[in-house]
Amino acid sequence: MRLRTFVTPLIIAALAISLTGCGAGSNATTRLTKKVTDGQEAEIKKDANNIALRNFVLVAMPDGSAVVVGTVINRGVNEDALLGLAIPGIQAQFTGNSTIGQNGLITFEGESANAKAVIFGANLKPGTHSDLSLFFGNAGEITLDVLIQKPEGIYAGITSQASIL
């Protein structure tokens, strides 16, 4: 009888640990899940507005400027306009598409780019983060904590020079 009162709590404790995942250790699959991209993502859902922001980063250029990379998607029923972008204290020079209709995109950089935003004098350090604010006519303002990248690898072709969009 005494053995049963001693063994039963041990079995219950062992089952509790293994069933809750605590027994998986420091290499548990759920603990090692990694984000697919370095880019920051967010959404603005306000009234009839639904703006999705995908894969936003800043690329620090050798001349001290920073180039915005990312995509804005209008999932709402109302047309909206991207009025501007800024980091603390410095507004971006923004060219290209600013009006975004239902299911429309504004893409910064890449083969399908239809807009460009450069922040001159940013002097950001790769590997750090910075706040990046986007301002919309209807949806309002949103601020993302974005990663600063070097202009290499997938960002190697990015330049602070204006291009024909």
pLDDT on residue 48: 84
> Which stretches in the chain have pLDDT values below 50?
164
- Mean pLDDT of the chain, nearest integer: 86
pLDDT 10s digits, 98-137: 999 999 999 999 999 999 999 999 999 999 999 999 999 9
**SS (HEC) of the chain:** CHHHHHHHHHHHHHHHHHHCCHHHHHHCCCCCCCCCCCCEEEEEEECCEEEEEEEEEEEECCCCCEEEEEEEEECCCCCEEEEEEEECCEECEEEECCEECCCCEEEECCCCCCEEEEECCCCCCCCCEEEEEEEECCCEEEEEEEEEECCCHHHCCCCCCCCCC
Q: What's this model's pTM, rounded to 2 decimal places?
A: 0.76
pLDDT on residue 100: 95
8 Å CB contact between 147 and 40: yes
Residue 18 CA to its chain's centroid (Å): 35
pLDDT on residue 2: 61
pLDDT on residue 85: 97
Q: Could you identify the residue written with the tokens 């639904």?
A: 50
pLDDT on residue 151: 96
Q: Is 98 exposed, middle or buried (0-12, 13-18, 19+ CB in 10 A)?
A: middle
Which candidate, 99, 108, 92, 58, places its Cα nearest to that of 78?
A: 99
8 Å CB contact between 107 and 165: no
